[in-house]
Chains A and B, each alone.
Chain A
């Protein structure tokens, strides 16, 4: 398992990286943390002719909070997200989610930009981005584009990024006052890709949801911001209401089958996850999995 021969350049600036992408076009691949790219190359699933290594671009690192916006540089590694006090304070969902990304060795190298640009539908960060209403910032030869996370993910390993663009940062609104969150994924082993996962953020007042954003992952070809969450907002949540929301969720999903789960099992587990999420966010053990009153 050795990668095919390829040419390699370590970019010294974003503009140089962009120039290389323009010159080499589709035959080039951007190397960030390398945690998805290198295995794929070693398995010869892909054989890019040219590698643009952006690992040295310090301008793409860093986490900053300003005027209610949390900006995370594309090269920020998972381990840095995990340890960041800014993230813990302003996007606690992300802190919790990152702990589920693979294992320490992967988190030490993998980057948020790499994960988002790779757009594996079973990975955690894309779902977190849609839940948190992130804006993805892409820079190309003609300047920057701002893309809403919901518009960014287009399919399995497909994004709105153009071949000449580099994902440089993401922006997140800081978690609203009084917001709460839920993250869980079903995976066969700790660190595996999820069979089904859910990243949720909510505002709960007087036992009711004022806001509820549900970002499911591994339930289709891209992360899904579930519309069925709206059925739970502004109403007293009963077992019946929960059941209806679960049924509505099922309608929204188009899960695929793989080694770990059939589409039916994914659909089923997504409903379990929604029920557990609602029970947890409302602190309501009585709701169970929903059902008849």
Chain B
């Protein structure tokens, strides 16, 4: 028996047999690997019908009439429903939040009424016994349109000559934010060099493996709607569905089983999902909607369509004096509901210059409407824009004054002992570790050796580049994100744990699982704190009837907020268990401890009573307990950070790549990430989160773009023409860590979901420009396609 320590001397995370910081297999792995996952597509309910949405081929058009009679006669057709018919059961919405001052949008309906505003907006719902029959019938619905002028180019969206998409709003400006900190003009005047550039970011999307899917089941008998949906935020869906269907939240249950990837795509409420809920109520039967790949491209939110002018001032010694940006983004015809489409631009303003000490920062961000698919929050909202602009400017400044990219960062990154501090945009940092991360990165990548190799290869006309990108990442948002703006999106999460009659644990949590490991991290925390093995912890997620109320999994908040709730609930249950054990054993709780599913003596580790025996007594022979003892073998705790509105993580990424200057092709050779997400619960899950995030960032850097023509037609809405990053083109990604736990929680976890995406594209852009430096070419546009590179090189 190993020596025992009084439990109070160890943190709950360091207890014997702790799972914290250990790579353990995810509890759901066997189930998923054996094909026993349950996705919405798998669901078959009695009397279930399938809906297919007939979608507008026009970017902007008036609907003059919809002829449905031929379609109604098609085999299997149950109903064909227009926007105005559906409006009898569901109300429209406006995607604004009060804390984003001036943000405006127009009422949006579940199905378009009178007018369509983007190619892909639904104009009618065709409900049939099968998806194939619904598609057959949809081909027979004829819609008469009168095409309207479309506003598609964000650069001209505010021009007087451009049609105003929503007349009632007066113009196409959805939101503008201006920020001015320090003395920017003086700082630029004091600089020895000022560099400016305009950065272009391609519009892209999330491409989840499983498309958006809903089964909505209205049970008229109990006046209750059950929504089965792959979502990141079940309680938010419950609130919104109830609000617009005229129900109480208690009349709506949201069930979220397995989800095939989300990345922020599934944290919103889409018009077609609202229509599916409404159809279930209207037709009084279960309705299934599974987006196909083409409509996923046309309706899943897009992101990142930004053009940003940036300016940096720098002294000869490398000190950065100021940053200035002017960002423009086009968000489609409506601000998305309920999180709004102003958040990304707002984040860009918040995050530019974030890792650096300079206090002088001026920013303008404008968000405009356009007749394209809606844009909204996708993994690492705003971060890749802010990071690319900042890190490109830093490299351009370094180039201008002739110092090394690592050196300029060393001279300007906020010192690791300078915390807590506030960024020029007013963000409060508790504890970051930029310098430790950079030092670790330099070592991991053997920076000096790589530079030497680069020089040798340059002499042979081989153009390799090194790109560095420091970043910060917003995690663990408090109510400051959405709640203060009036959105009913919870920033707190809850966990309930209980001991069953055989001493196993059932844990219900309000965070959700979409493949990132929420279930595993919850079981690891609960098992560690309670002193039971993970295989005796069963985690229940994704059911508004059966979990505490909470936000869900998004904004890198699952581990930091849901994990802490799990920790506190488990601590409470442990105390309750030990109280009962003490009563049974005529001991005191302080003398007892739970290890490996049994209560043991703290002093010498002697087994005292199995949890199964304790549970047997509590549940079946309470008569044998001492008088006055009422055991509570269930405990619930909720958590939300209160001190800081957001946690911040930080890190640095590096890319090593080769540009074929004859062909414009880029070969990624290696990628490194050092990040600081605070306490690491499961190293493998964290590393894979980072790698997956990096890959999505690399997709943005080199491949992914929603290509619209000038008429607002999406021209590559398929998996052949829209290029997602594939394994063949991906480099090895080495991940290292610095650990600065947050003191806001006992757990200390900050979140790791978006760090990879935040900085990957910036590292690649900088590496490409580093490779092309001898040729005197700088490119500030992504994706860096061969066409873009050859054009910049003057080859075509």
Name A residues whose Cβ lies closer than 8 Å to a Cβ of B.
Answer: 1-5, 43-44, 186, 188-193, 195, 259-262, 264-265, 268-269, 272, 289
Contact = CB atoms under 8 A, between A and B. Distances in A.
B662 A265 contact: no
B663 A1 contact: no
Contacts of A1: 135, 292-294
A269 B715 CA distance: 24
B293 A261 contact: no
B718 A43 contact: yes
Contacts of A2: 131-132, 135
Nearest to A263: B796
Contact of A265 (B292, B718, B721, B787): B787
B191 interface: no
Given A191-B728, A265-B796, A269-B663, 11 more contacts: A1-B135, A1-B292, A2-B131, A2-B132, A2-B135, A44-B139, A190-B726, A192-B723, A259-B721, A261-B787, A268-B795
Contacts of B790: 265, 268
Given A188-B723, A191-B728, A259-B715, A5 B787 contact: no
B720 A193 contact: yes
A193 B721 CA distance: 10
Interface residues of B, number: 29
A259 B132 CA distance: 30
Nearest to B132: A2
A191 B729 CA distance: 11
B204 to A, nearest CB: 14
B136 A268 contact: no
B716 interface: yes
Nearest to A273: B663
A69 B702 CA distance: 45
A272 B663 CA distance: 8
Contacts of A272: 662-663
Given A192-B723, A193-B720, A260 B729 contact: no
Prevailing SS type, chain A contact patch: loop
B786 interface: yes
B786 A195 contact: yes
9 contacts: A1-B292, A188-B786, A189-B725, A189-B726, A190-B729, A259-B716, A260-B786, A272-B662, A289-B662
B728 A190 contact: yes
Contacts, number: 62
A43 B132 contact: no
Contacts of B131: 2
Nearest to A5: B136
Contacts of B662: 272, 289
Contact of A260 (B135, B718, B787): B787
B186 to A, nearest CB: 46
B305 to A, nearest CB: 17
Interface in B552-569: none
A156 B292 CA distance: 27
B707 interface: yes
A287 to B, nearest CB: 13
B621 to A, nearest CB: 60
Nearest to B790: A265
B136 A189 contact: no
Interface string B722-759: 01011011000000000000000000000000000000
A289 B716 CA distance: 33
B665 interface: yes
Interface string B688-729: 000000000000000100010000000110101101011011
Contacts of B729: 189-190
B787 A191 contact: no
A259 B662 CA distance: 20
A288 B157 CA distance: 47
A161 to B, nearest CB: 24
Nearest to B719: A39
A259 B707 contact: yes
Contacts of A289: 662
A157 to B, nearest CB: 15
Contacts of A259: 707, 715-716, 721
Contacts of B716: 259
A258 B253 CA distance: 47
A191 B723 CA distance: 11
Contacts of A190: 726, 728-729
B796 A262 contact: yes
Given A43-B718, A259-B715, A189 B723 contact: yes
Contacts of B723: 188-189, 192
Contacts of B132: 2-3, 5
A4 B136 contact: yes
A191 B726 contact: yes
A264 B790 CA distance: 11
Interface in B119-142: 131-132, 135-136, 139
Nearest to A4: B136
Nearest to B52: A2
Nearest to B293: A1
The 5 lowest CB-CB distance pairs between A and B, nearest first, are A190-B728, A2-B132, A1-B292, A265-B796, A268-B796
Contacts of B703: 188-189
